[in-house]
Amino acid sequence: MPVAERLLTHQEGLTLDEDAEYWLGEMAAVLPNCRTPTQMVSLNRYLDATVRALRKIERRTASPVAITDDARLAYAAATEFLSR
């Protein structure tokens, strides 16, 4: 799943809390061996949980979580992917 990989690649450009770090870690654990339908479902759930955690940070801080342009684009791609 390129969207998850992109978000992981640019996570240094995101403002994270413990919850967001946890879900990014879960994505990182599943992504390298993500081949079965069950693994794909898990990855999608972890991506969704990550985006929810990032949105929660934005609401709490009233600031965007993306610090860099690459992170902003990765976060936007993940949000768009999940809205389909």
| pLDDT of 84 higher than 90 | no
Residue 9: CA count within 13 A, CB half-sphere: 14
- Kindly indicate the confidence band of residue 74, based on its pLDDT and cuts at 50, 70 and 90: very high
| pLDDT of 20 higher than 90 | yes
Report the DSSP beta bridge partners of residue 66: 14
State the amino acid at position 59 in one-letter form.
Answer: R
pLDDT value for 1 = 84
